[in-house]
Chain A
Amino acid sequence: MKFNQKSKLLLTALAFALLLLPFATDALFGRGWVRIADFALLYIMLALGLNIVVGYAGLLDLGYIAFFAVGAYNYALLSSPQFGLHWPAWAVLPLGALLACCFGVLLGAPTLRLRGDYLAIVTLGFGEIIRIFLNNLNAPVNITNGPQGISMIDPVRVGGFSLGATQEIFGISLPSVHLYYYLFLLFTLLVVCVSRRLEDSRIGRAWMAIREDEVAAEAMGINTRDIKLLAFAMGATFGGLSGGLFAGLQGFISPESFGLMESIMILCMVVLGGMGNIAGVVLGGVLLALLPEAFRHGAGPVQQALFGKALVDPESLRMLLFGLALIAVMLLRPAGLWPSSVRRRELEADDGVAQQEQETVYDRSR
């Protein structure tokens, strides 16, 4: 990839902005927002993972959060007082990703013959099965602690360096949320990089071919079974990885965090941002992670200022505004906020091509 002078400058500026973001946020809005930024990064990773399944391979997966849950519970069980295990993060995180990958194949295999709506229904079922399992695996043998969840999960720790407490680096004092921000940023960049490389490869083209026309793809020699399983596995791997990170940051997880709404939220990020386009999906992840929080914090004060008192509960208003925003985006920008260049070309070029086609027809009949 070649960068010209301008994009180099832009990239450097972006890198600095991302590095300074937690400090700026902390100073301007308070520490709570740094935590929200951490969650935004987690959501971006999840959305990019789902983008492989939905955006590239065109397989509608409504149970994606299950892989997030697998990663999170893997981390929680292996490094918390639950079983008295305290494995180091560098072992648990990859293990979680691997485990989620296996689950991806496991859940993907029975759905290979399904498409569209039917696939969505089955994956939705799988997502729920995982959640219900986690909810009920406290008897007869207590594994997951059931609905009470697992608490006191170890923070991510590398050697003696714990991300759970404030650390001094080069004389700069970095609170825990800042440290997690940088860790998540690192993993997000990794996920972006992997997505990019996959997109523009033999495997990526095979995924897109399946999305476009499965029968033709198969007739062109693509082993659709393997390639689809690969998409499920890759997507699940990202989900498992971010699940582990989530457990480390949060210190507490329960099945409640892995409901259907979360799956739908991630799907919204992918669709809203621009299916199949990495930058779009990142944008979708950032917006959908931040907007509800902004509504939550903003709705109360704004009502106070307008009416003198809070007319509507900010919490319910939040979802209402959120729904309206979704509808507006889908009506005004059906291909997503930042569609892939291909999609944009589709929308722009239609008129030109129609005319050109007319001319061609005339040319040929003469």
Chain B
Amino acid sequence: MTAADNGHGKQAMPVSLSPSSLPQAGERDAVSLREFQDQALLQLSGVGKHFGGLAALSEVSLHIRRGEIYGLIGPNGAGKTTLFNVITGLYQLDEGALTFDGVAYVHCKPHVLAEAGIARTFQNIRLFANMSALENIMVGRHVRTRTGIWGALSRNAAACAEERAIAQRARELLRYVGIDRPHQTLAKHLSYGEQRRLEIARALATEPALLALDEPAAGMNATETESLKSLLQAIRASGITVLLIEHDVKLIMGLCDRVAVLDYGKKIAEGIPEEVRRNPAVIAAYLGGEAA
């Protein structure tokens, strides 16, 4: 029995993941809802990032629409993770502009972007290893909760209620990503696949509008990848936009609505997966030289 078969596919899902910014379907008529969805949630224009003389990114422009799963692929060293770090504020961009949800963010710290609604996972899992699985997710609630030092010390009614809500939400999310373990299990004692999913749960706890996943399927076997796929689909269905870096071409092709390809820090192709797969520039980038 693995976590894979207590399944995310058949989610009863008591959990609503919708960020509050998303309009409810009932509130708007169908046409304007589609317009709303067509707006770019994240817009990058002419983004450049240099490390010394090395241009890790140059002139990258892309826009991610609300509610889609957007794939980012490219050979090793193409600048995918750099782009991720720029989007989530770990790196400051040298050129260009980043607009998220209609607001331009210039030289913002990661926590500002997290508050704005961008949550991420890391290529090399970066959980809080010596904290329990539940606590890891509870940390994710930090940005959406407010208890300060006085609340913590006085433990007044508001602080206690918030603390209970945090724990409650964390338990829901733990179940949602299918981690079936005692809540006190330390993060570092979870299996590899569980750690990957715990990272997603932690990111979801921040109530993101955009969930950015850096190679979530790396090192997973076929069963785990399949369960990850249904998890991502469930997340998208709940209204969260997903940005995905992945090497697993099958996963990308089966999951993404649109795909962008990076090579040497430049965007060489963008479009629906079928087109991108046939794009000669992409084939050349992957197979090398003049192969196309």
A residues in contact (CB < 8 Å) with B: 194, 197-198, 201-206, 208-209, 212-213, 215-224, 230, 234, 342-343, 345-346, 349, 353, 356-357, 360, 363-365
A224 to B109, CA, bound (A): 10
Instruction: Let me know if B191 is at the binding interface, CB within 8 A.
Output: yes
Quick one: given A353-B189, A363-B2, are A219 and B88 in contact (CB under 8 Å)?
Answer: yes
Q: Are B111 and A223 in contact (CB under 8 A)?
A: yes
Given A206-B139, A212-B131, A218-B109, list of 14 further CB < 8 A pairs?
A202-B141, A205-B135, A209-B139, A215-B110, A219-B111, A219-B119, A220-B139, A220-B202, A221-B110, A221-B111, A221-B140, A234-B149, A346-B130, A357-B191
B residues in contact (CB < 8 Å) with A: 1-2, 4, 88-90, 109-111, 114-115, 119-120, 122, 126-132, 135, 138-145, 147-149, 151-153, 155, 159, 162-163, 166, 184, 186, 188-189, 191, 193, 202-203, 206, 221, 223-224
Q: Are B2 and A364 in contact (CB under 8 A)?
A: yes
Quick one: given A194-B153, A221-B115, are A215 and B135 in contact (CB under 8 Å)?
Answer: no
A223 to B153, CA, bound (A): 20
Contact of B191 among A212, A345, A360 (CB under 8 A): A360
Please give the distance in Å from A202's CB to the nearest CB on chain B: 5
A154 to B101, CA, bound (A): 62
A216: chain B residues within 8 A (beta carbon)? 122, 126-128
A218 to B143, CA, bound (A): 10
B140: chain A residues within 8 A (beta carbon)? 220-221
Main secondary structure of the interface of A (DSSP, over half): helix
- Most chain-B CB neighbours within 10 Å: which of A197, A218, A221? A221
- List the B residue with the shortest CB-CB distance to A208: B131
B223: chain A residues within 8 A (beta carbon)? 364
Q: Are A342 and B130 in contact (CB under 8 A)?
A: yes
- Most chain-A CB neighbours within 10 Å: which of B109, B135, B162, B189? B189
Quick one: given A197-B153, A219-B110, are A203 and B148 in contact (CB under 8 Å)?
Answer: yes
A37 to B160, CA, bound (A): 36
B139: chain A residues within 8 A (beta carbon)? 205-206, 208-209, 217, 220, 222
A197 to B152, CA, bound (A): 6
A202 to B140, CA, bound (A): 10
- List the A residue with the shortest CB-CB distance to B207: A221
A219: chain B residues within 8 A (beta carbon)? 88-90, 110-111, 114, 119-120, 122
A208 to B129, CA, bound (A): 10
Q: Are B126 and A215 in contact (CB under 8 A)?
A: yes
Q: Are B189 and A202 in contact (CB under 8 A)?
A: no
Q: Are A221 and B148 in contact (CB under 8 A)?
A: no
12 contacts between A and B (CB under 8 A): A202-B145, A203-B149, A205-B135, A205-B139, A209-B128, A217-B139, A218-B111, A219-B90, A219-B114, A222-B143, A364-B224, A365-B221
Contact of B152 among A202, A212, A342 (CB under 8 A): A202
Contact of B129 among A201, A206, A212, A221 (CB under 8 A): A212
A222 to B4, CA, bound (A): 31
Q: Are B149 and A220 in contact (CB under 8 A)?
A: no
- List the A residue with the shortest CB-CB distance to B117: A221
A198: chain B residues within 8 A (beta carbon)? 149, 152-153
Q: Are B132 and A220 in contact (CB under 8 A)?
A: no
Q: Are B142 and A221 in contact (CB under 8 A)?
A: yes
